[in-house]
Structure 1
């Protein structure tokens, strides 16, 4: 439940912020006649995303036994990969709002109504497909209540999106995305290890050592707390050697890349600030940047 809530909260809030940026741009540029194309982009993007969710769910029902384990393992690995790349991509972005407004400006300037629709559609579809794949992977790792968590996440995100758009509250988006990014990295590591476990169960990956350690007598993975941690972080009380190695390597690599990108960004900001003339007045940066 918690995994699904975090995923839909973050992804839906990203969708809400994208929509807010688009409407804000149209209002500022006095181009409100394009609003209907924005709505159509949102609707079609959501329909395509929901269709993808139905397709994945339908496919999962078709498989049994070994093929089901392989299918679940593939979905988990895809989910872990997309979660990781999405987090690192956002970390490497300088100003998402500015880039989105630039795309819209080019389409509006050339009166490309379909272009405006396309910008919105692609943005919503990308977030929607990511959400569908993440939830598909999370559903296989969580025991129950994944649907409830997903719905709660969507509701909370919509409320936050409305609050931000109306400007009735100052929410620190940078802090929000940083905290959720840490959670999502740990979730991705759990999905990766769980995917490896499914492949081992299917006989695709050798086991070598079935249980490198066993702490289920301390914290049972099938107990109340164990199931909660299993759904949230992919907790396994008796992992195999390969699962443990993959989990540790992933965490080391992903946080090393994270640190490198952060250091690189700090260096770029330092160089940029050193070039600004003392008499120049810098405009406040957009709230939606990483």
Structure 2
């Protein structure tokens, strides 16, 4: 089973499902279900748009060969790692404000009877998750960890969980869920950074410094059952270059520093925004 593929599609689909659920619940509570068709229209249009983005990305990526292909794949891995990182910290910062923001936008559109605004709200929110998924899955494909069935399973489970949450069948602790998946995605992103560096080394863009810096494949083969699992989830490499090791540890260290100082950074920025207004 492709665990990275499952985690990515599961989390991204659940985020989209939660957004759509928040919109629909608000429309029900305010007795404005006549706008539901615009929500579903925006949602399905975003799904189609995500499919088009996936097709165009694959066509574009297929046009490269040699060093250019390695540079493109490495750049895609860096972009995916950056997106994963910003997504996680954005969720950390905005987790208490997302629902309020959506409801405020909906209230404004309903008051103005602006159906296109409701359509666009659902479309943009879902399309963002879809495009992120396309980039993440292409990055997993470049490192040989993409699994189609795992991706489909992630989508199905996420949609089912979204239904369970909003139908009130069972209360789910989403805080713990997002905390666990965030840790997994950060470690996966660290692996993408190291793999991206490897691709740039292969293309002659980055100096590996020393290669390999160690080789423990005789102890834990990266192509074995356990090694393949660790490679898929954490970016394990049995014989990395020194630059790959430094990039992996550097990324983890940077994320740890930002995370443990997140509240302090936010409090420093808050007064500046207040006094300037």
Conserved in 1, the CA contact under 8 Å of 2:194 and 2:247? yes
Q: Secondary structure at the match of 2:81?
A: helix
Conserved in 2, the CA contact under 8 Å of 1:143 and 1:227? no
Counterpart in the other structure of 1:202? 203
Conserved in 1, the CA contact under 8 Å of 2:4 and 2:145? no
Q: Distance in 2 between matches of 1:216 and 1:74?
A: 27
TM-score by length of 1: 0.88
Conserved in 2, the CA contact under 8 Å of 1:4 and 1:149? yes
TM-score by length of 2: 0.92
Q: Distance in 1 between matches of 2:226 and 2:58?
A: 28
Q: Distance in 2 between matches of 1:169 and 1:265?
A: 34
Alignment deviations for residues 248-277 of structure 1 (CA, whole Å, 9 cap, x no partner) = 11101112111222566799xxxxxxxxxx
Q: Distance in 2 between matches of 1:131 and 1:56?
A: 12
Structure 2 CA distance for partners of 1:96 and 1:143, relative to 1, 3 Å: closer
Count of paired positions: 266
Conserved in 2, the CA contact under 8 Å of 1:22 and 1:101? yes
Which structure 2 residue ranges, 5 or more long, are not aligned?
269-277
Structure 2 CA distance for partners of 1:168 and 1:186, relative to 1, 3 Å: same
Alignment deviations for residues 57-107 of structure 1 (CA, whole Å, 9 cap, x no partner) = 222322222222111111111000000000000001132111111111111
Counterpart in the other structure of 1:91? 92
Structure 1: which 4+ aligned runs deviate by more than 4 Å?
Answer: 262-267
Instruction: Decide which of 129, 132, 135 is 2:131's aligned counterpart.
Output: 129
Q: CA RMSD in A?
A: 1.6
Structure 2 CA distance for partners of 1:195 and 1:215, relative to 1, 3 Å: same
Which structure 1 residue ranges, 5 or more long, are not aligned?
268-290
Q: Distance in 2 between matches of 1:27 and 1:152?
A: 29
Q: Distance in 2 between matches of 1:17 and 1:260?
A: 28
Q: Residue 17 in 1 paired to residue 18 in 2?
A: yes
Conserved in 1, the CA contact under 8 Å of 2:5 and 2:145? no
